[in-house]
């Protein structure tokens, strides 16, 4: 039985160019989770109070997805293009208990 896991990536300063360079590969991995019915939510944290932060960019991202174990979620997160491209300075992976929506 699989469980939900939250993956929280924290961006390095001025990450926007690095992000844009590998964004298609990052989104493709998320699309695969979506196609498998394993993605609850995913998106970036704008660095300012705006859905389109422009050059201010983003401060990180949140992904909540289903994996068989914490180790599997960590392995998936470690292979993210944002990690290999140096977009994220730190990634936290932890169990997530979905309560709402039911």
Prediction pTM value: 0.95
pLDDT in tens, the chain (102 residues): 789 999 999 999 999 999 999 999 999 999 999 999 999 999 999 999 999 999 999 999 999 999 999 999 999 999 999 999 999 999 999 999 999 988
Q: List CB contacts of 68: < 8 A, sequence separation 6 or more.
A: 2, 3
The answer to whether 14 and 57 have CB atoms below 8 angstroms apart is yes
The domain 3-96: what is its CATH number? 3.30.70.1060
Q: What is the structure's pLDDT at 41?
A: 98
């Amino acid at each position: 039985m699989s469980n939900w896991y939250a993956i929280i990536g924290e961006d390095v300063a001025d990450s926007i160019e690095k992000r844009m360079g590998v964004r298609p590969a990052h989104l493709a991995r998320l699309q695969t989770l979506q196609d498998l019915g394993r993605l609850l939510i995913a998106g970036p944290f704008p660095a300012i109070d705006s859905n389109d932060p422009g050059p201010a960019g983003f401060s990180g991202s949140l992904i909540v997805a289903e994996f068989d174990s914490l180790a599997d979620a960590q392995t998936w997160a470690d292979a993210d293009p944002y990690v290999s491209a140096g977009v994220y300075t730190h990634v936290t992976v932890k169990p997530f208990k979905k309560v709402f929506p039911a």
